[in-house]
């Protein structure tokens, strides 16, 4: 039997396909009830564990089968508040109706052409995004790591062609605790052993300094070979680390003074998540190069972008950089709809308001085990006291049992990042479930 035939014959027949009964009830609270007689998730988990590369450890006992707005539903029909939102790729909530409509309409017409042809959507998307965010041009990419890497390529080239850095001597400064993806270049500039160990030899030309440390930046920028400082205005994977007030604006000032490009990686903290369209707006900072991803697609497909003015974007000359899928018409239609949904849905304002409520309420929970509640907008973390004997993964499991899906970023820190569409009633409901879950820890 050919492998293809075998594969097709193994596909579930329509009659075997899993049907979903979605409850109309509120999110359950209390321990997950066992559904008598059926355990649809068992087979899924077995297949996962047997056939999928084991580079993730999914949260146990939940197989997500459907998402809608601020909720996801598991294969057995239980409802959860999604407080991860695909690592902030669904700021607009699951399957936002306007983004979904744009997807369907575009998919019915044209999905991909290749960048060697004009397509009728990319120009529209670039016009909308550049006007909205205030840059001359947009470079379309797919995953976040590609966009961040593109910004490094752009700044290295600018260093050689404009700044006069000797060939192959360009340096990019990053902060310790940064996370910008999983490529070899990203691994080469990571301080997290699980990202870089065993992946050498590494890409040269990166220098690491502590985050939120202006003297260290000032010192590093003295090197004439430095072309760029790449920074997350709020460090995401490091545990939602908000720098001191004035850090980013001072960094901007120092970059300008030293003829170094400021690259803001707003892939996770941007697009409304922090309570503003861009987290750098809190300090009225305009980076030379802005990197976006994740929620640029509302979670429908990988879409990322680099935005910059002509003087930097002109480094990307014909044939020097590209991507098969970057800027495809389907992605372009999705990105316009995703940005519009944030703007027209007042999501930045809502994230700001709901974030204030979240931190105020969460700060009253289990003060014996919680050391810190921090964040901006709906980009928040709860950090446990390391001596309390409870780990974030234990808390995640308790939260799951009470109908909330979260994700720990470190052993003692878990991120709370719901859809920016969450309303006050839903937030208060989620907070009361959180409270109950924490009380059981």
Ligand X SMILES: Cc1ncc(COP(=O)(O)O)c(C=O)c1O
User: Nearest-CB residue to ligand X?
Assistant: 144
- Kindly tell me which of 293 and 403 has the beta carbon lying closer to ligand X: 293
- Kindly tell me which of 75 and 303 has the beta carbon lying closer to ligand X: 303
- Kindly tell me which of 269 and 430 has the beta carbon lying closer to ligand X: 269
Q: Is 379 annotated in the active site?
A: no
Q: Is 108 annotated in the active site?
A: no
Q: Which residues are near ligand X by CB under 6 A?
A: 87, 143-145, 148, 179-181, 232, 236-237, 265, 267-268, 293, 302
Cα 358 from Cα 345, distance rounded (Å): 20
How many beta carbons lie within 10 A of that of residue 354, not counting itself? 24
Q: DSSP readout, 303-314?
A: -EEEEE-HHHHT
Long-range contacts of 101-109 (CB under 8 A, 24+ apart): 101/337, 102/333, 102/334, 102/336, 102/337, 103/300, 103/330, 103/333, 103/334, 103/337, 105/333, 106/329, 106/330, 106/332, 106/333, 106/334, 107/330, 109/329
Q: Is 435 annotated in the active site?
A: no
- The least distance separating ligand X from the CB of residue 178, rounded to whole angstroms, comes to 8
Token output for 431: 């907070």
- Kindly tell me which of 179 and 358 has the beta carbon lying closer to ligand X: 179
- The least distance separating ligand X from the CB of residue 11, rounded to whole angstroms, comes to 29
- The least distance separating ligand X from the CB of residue 338, rounded to whole angstroms, comes to 14
Q: Where are the beta strands (DSSP E) in 145-244?
A: 171-175, 206-209, 226-231
Cα 359 from Cα 382, distance rounded (Å): 9
Order of all β-strands in the sheet with 379-384: 370-376, 379-384, 413-416, 407-410
- Kindly tell me which of 41 and 380 has the beta carbon lying closer to ligand X: 380
- The least distance separating ligand X from the CB of residue 293, rounded to whole angstroms, comes to 5
- The least distance separating ligand X from the CB of residue 147, rounded to whole angstroms, comes to 8
Cα 264 from Cα 412, distance rounded (Å): 27
Active-site residue, selected from the candidate residues 74, 82, 179, 365:
179
Active-site residue, selected from the candidate residues 171, 294, 398, 436:
294
The residues assigned a catalytic role are 179, 265, 294
């Amino acid at each position: 039997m050919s492998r293809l035939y075998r594969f097709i014959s193994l596909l579930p027949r329509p009659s075997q396909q899993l049907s979903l009964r979605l409850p109309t009830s509120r999110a359950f609270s209390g321990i997950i009830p066992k559904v008598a007689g059926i355990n649809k998730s068992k087979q899924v988990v077995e297949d996962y564990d047997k056939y999928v590369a084991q580079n993730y450890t999914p949260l146990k006992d939940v197989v997500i089968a459907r998402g809608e707005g601020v909720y996801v539903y598991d294969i057995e029909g239980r409802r959860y508040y999604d407080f991860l939102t695909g690592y902030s790729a669904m700021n607009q909530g699951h399957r936002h109706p306007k983004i979904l409509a744009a997807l369907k309409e575009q998919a019915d017409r044209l999905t991909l052409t290749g960048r060697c042809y004009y397509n009728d959507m990319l120009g529209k998307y670039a016009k909308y995004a550049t006007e909205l965010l205030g840059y001359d041009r947009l470079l379309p990419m797919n995953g976040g790591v590609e966009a961040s890497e593109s910004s490094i390529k752009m700044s290295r080239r600018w260093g050689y062609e404009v700044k006069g850095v000797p060939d192959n001597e360009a340096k990019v400064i990053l902060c310790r605790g940064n996370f910008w993806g999983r490529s070899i270049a990203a691994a080469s500039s990571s301080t997290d052993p699980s990202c870089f160990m065993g992946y050498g030899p590494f890409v040269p030309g990166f220098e690491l300094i502590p985050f939120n440390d202006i003297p260290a930046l000032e010192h590093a920028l003295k090197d004439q070979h430095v072309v760029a400082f790449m920074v997350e205005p709020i460090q995401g994977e490091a545990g939602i680390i908000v720098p001191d007030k004035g850090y980013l604006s001072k960094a901007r000032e120092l970059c300008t003074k030293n003829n170094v490009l400021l690259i803001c990686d707003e892939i996770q903290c941007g697009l409304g998540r922090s309570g503003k369209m861009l987290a750098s707006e809190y300090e009225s900072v305009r980076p030379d190069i802005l990197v976006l991803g994740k929620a640029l697609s509302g979670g429908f497909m990988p879409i990322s972008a680099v935005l910059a003015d002509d003087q930097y974007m002109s480094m990307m000359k014909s044939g020097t950089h590209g991507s098969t899928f970057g800027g495809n018409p389907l992605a372009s239609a999705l990105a316009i709809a995703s940005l519009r949904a944030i703007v027209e849905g007042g999501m930045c304002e809502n994230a700001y308001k709901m974030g204030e409520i979240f931190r105020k309420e969460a700060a009253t929970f289990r003060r014996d085990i919680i050391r810190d509640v921090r964040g901006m907008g709906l980009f928040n973390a709860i950090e446990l006291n390391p001596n309390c004997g409870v780990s974030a993964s234990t808390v995640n499991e308790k939260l799951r049992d009470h109908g909330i899906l979260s994700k720990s970023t470190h052993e003692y820190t878990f991120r709370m990042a719901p859809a920016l569409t969450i309303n006050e009633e839903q937030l208060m409901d989620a907070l009361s479930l959180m409270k109950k879950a924490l009380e059981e820890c």
